[in-house]
């Protein structure tokens, strides 16, 4: 539910000075037993209903949290996902933090409903403005639609490129776009029916060969950062004007995946030596590329022959402004018309402006701290759970995010397929954390938390606070390493042994399905940082069951 209506009644806790000052304040607050759990359900110290052996208040109790759920003999796909979420809660591959809220500042002349999936589609703006500028924390490092898998990248390229299918924001249900109809003709075969009035920006008509090529290219690990995400695809082929996709397994989420991964490109254009897909655009969307200045801006103009309803602005520019305050000043000065990641403490400033307003929505993004079990001490379940008990998430949500966040207990967010409703978040219990550290054999551990800067809402402040609370333990030392997002992510997608041992990340789940929340992290793939045979096998089993 949007928090906008209650803002006038909320007392904001203003944090001045540096992020270090913020962390120190919250670190001190984290020594207490905290406030609520981010949902108004409890005081942050209750172990919950069957997920915790104790009540969170027994001093120096080195007791692991356990999950007692059992699978039926013939479980459904959703039941398997729920069970794996329970195992992930118990194994604690992450420090579970919160579901992020997306908060935008926008020109008062723009009417726009923020989406949970964080998409910024300028053609959806209702405005009389002829030109708009969108300022994000980062730009993208490539215009290749499958060359990056981050939200700032999609916000830019999706003005010009289109996915195969679109999706309902609240449910993730596929709806028609370039593909107008879709069906599973056999267990491992699907057919896509295409719109017949689509043109590329160079004036050529869209063909089934283009869509088949786009699907195969999306699944090619040599060129694609999202290879495999669209599904276990053997090959896509053009057949009588349609596209037939042959699968190696059932791939129950194939149509949901097509709403999120891959974009329609022109086969001949991509294969031509005269074009560079990393710096040029030739899509089917409502805007075409005007200028790309790497690291500075990307600008678009209206594509007059767009098959659908075009947008109100004739010109669109995206730029990257990492500093939150600088983005806010750009909005208030009229230099930007929409900005991302407005800080909760800055909302009152936006409200006081006659020329700006804000929009907020609970997003599909989970914010968490990853334990890379390839490194000590994160190979210990006791140590991993200790970090969850050490971090005072309710205080972070209340004091840093001003309640723009909901505490999480598992990889899959509420409302998404496979979310386990029987799990309560970890309570803040530093005594129990210290006891578990002793039990782990890693007392005296010195760890470093890597965090991106300016990518997520108050990411650095959250990392500083979490590290401070961990550092408050008698037997663990923790410091923060601030990282550029575009240099950090390639390390995370590298071999597990080359990735940082402990890092903050946000994982958006555009499919609204537990498979994408967990499989990239817990099965074979670029982002695997935790190795548990039972979890991996169950996730693979879930991929063999049709919805």
Closest to 503 measured CA to CA, from 472, 478, 533: 478
Kindly state the DSSP code that residue 118 receives in the 8-state scheme: -
**Inter-residue contact 396 to 409 (CB < 8 Å):** no
Q: Report pLDDT digits (tens) over 184-215.
A: 999 999 999 999 999 999 999 999 999 999 99
Q: Report pLDDT digits (tens) over 460-495.
A: 999 999 999 999 999 999 999 999 998 998 899 878
Per-residue pLDDT, 60: 58
Per-residue pLDDT, 262: 96
**Domain locations in the chain as residue ranges:** 24-100+362-542, 121-339
Q: What topology does CATH give the domain 24-100+362-542?
A: Dipeptide-binding Protein; domain 3 (3.10.105)
What distance in Å separates the CA atoms of residue 128 and residue 114, rounded to the nearest whole number? 19
Per-residue pLDDT, 486: 86
What distance in Å separates the CA atoms of residue 215 and residue 236, rounded to the nearest whole number? 6
What distance in Å separates the CA atoms of residue 271 and residue 51, rounded to the nearest whole number? 54
Block mean pLDDT (10 aa), the chain, length 547: 36 31 33 33 36 44 91 95 98 98 97 93 97 95 95 96 93 94 96 98 99 98 93 97 96 95 98 95 98 96 96 96 94 98 94 96 97 98 99 98 97 97 98 98 98 92 99 99 92 89 96 95 90 97 87
Per-residue pLDDT, 39: 33
Residue 359 parent element (H or E): strand 356-371
3-state secondary structure 252-264: CCHHHHHCCCCCC
Angle, CA of 237, 243 and 246, to the nearest 5° = 55
Residue 72 tokens read as 């039926």
**Inter-residue contact 232 to 249 (CB < 8 Å):** yes
CATH architecture of the region 121-339: 3-Layer(aba) Sandwich (3.40)
The H-assigned helical ranges of 234-323 are 254-258, 267-271
The H-assigned helical ranges of 186-304 are 208-218, 254-258, 267-271
């Amino acid at each position: 539910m949007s928090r906008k209506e209650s803002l006038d009644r909320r007392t904001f806790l203003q944090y001045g000075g540096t992020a270090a000052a913020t962390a120190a304040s919250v670190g001190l607050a984290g020594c207490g037993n905290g406030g609520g759990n981010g949902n108004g359900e409890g005081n942050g110290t209750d172990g919950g209903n069957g997920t915790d052996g104790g009540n969170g208040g027994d001093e120096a109790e080195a007791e692991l949290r356990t999950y007692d759920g059992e699978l039926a003999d013939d479980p459904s796909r959703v039941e398997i996902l729920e069970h794996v979420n329970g195992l992930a809660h118990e194994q604690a591959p992450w420090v579970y933090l919160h579901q992020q809220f997306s908060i935008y500042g926008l020109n008062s002349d723009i009417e726009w409903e923020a989406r949970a999936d964080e998409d910024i589609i300028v053609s959806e703006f209702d405005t009389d403005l002829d030109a708009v500028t969108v300022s994000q924390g980062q730009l993208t490092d490539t215009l290749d639609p499958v060359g990056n898998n981050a939200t700032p990248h999609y916000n830019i390229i999706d003005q010009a490129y289109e996915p195969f299918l679109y999706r309902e924001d609240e449910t993730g249900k596929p709806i028609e776009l370039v593909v107008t109809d879709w069906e599973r003709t056999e267990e491992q075969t699907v057919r896509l029916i295409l719109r017949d009035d689509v043109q590329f920006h160079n004036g050529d008509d869209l063909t089934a060969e283009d869509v088949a090529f786009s699907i195969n290219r999306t699944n090619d690990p040599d060129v694609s950062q999202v290879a495999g995400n669209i599904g276990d695809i053997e090959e896509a082929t053009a057949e009588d004007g349609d596209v037939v996709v042959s699968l190696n397994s059932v791939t129950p989420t194939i149509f949901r995946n097509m709403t999120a991964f891959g974009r329609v490109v022109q086969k001949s254009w991509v294969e031509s030596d005269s074009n560079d897909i990393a710096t040029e655009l030739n899509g089917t969307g409502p805007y075409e590329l005007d200028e790309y200045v790497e690291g500075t801006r990307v600008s678009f103009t209206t594509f007059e022959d767009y098959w659908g309803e075009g947008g109100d602005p004739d010109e669109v520019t995206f730029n990257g402004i990492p500093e939150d305050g600088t983005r806010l000043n750009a909005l208030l000065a009229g230099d930007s018309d929409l900005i991302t990641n407005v800080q909760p403490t800055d909302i009152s400033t936006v409200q006081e402006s006659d020329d700006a307003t804000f929009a907020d929505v609970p997003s599909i993004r989970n914010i968490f701290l990853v334990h890379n079990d390839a490194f000590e001490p994160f190979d210990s379940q006791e140590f991993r759970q200790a970090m969850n008990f050490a971090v005072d998430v309710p205080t972070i949500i209340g004091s840093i995010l001003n309640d723009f966040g909901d505490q999480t207990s598992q990889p899959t967010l509420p409302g998404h397929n496979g979310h386990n409703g029987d799990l309560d978040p970890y309570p803040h219990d530093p005594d129990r954390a210290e006891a578990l550290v002793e039990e782990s054999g890693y007392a005296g551990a010195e760890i470093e938390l890597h965090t991106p800067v300016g990518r997520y809402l108050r990411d650095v402040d959250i990392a500083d606070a979490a590290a401070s609370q961990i550092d408050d333990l008698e037997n663990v030392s923790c410091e923060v390493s601030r990282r550029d997002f575009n240099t950090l992510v390639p390390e995370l997608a590298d071999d597990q042994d080359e990735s940082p041992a402990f890092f903050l990340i946000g994982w958006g789940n555009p499919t609204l399905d537990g498979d994408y929340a967990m499989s990239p992290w817990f099965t074979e793939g670029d982002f695997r940082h935790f190795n548990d045979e039972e979890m991996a096998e169950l996730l693979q089993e879930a991929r063999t069951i049709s919805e």
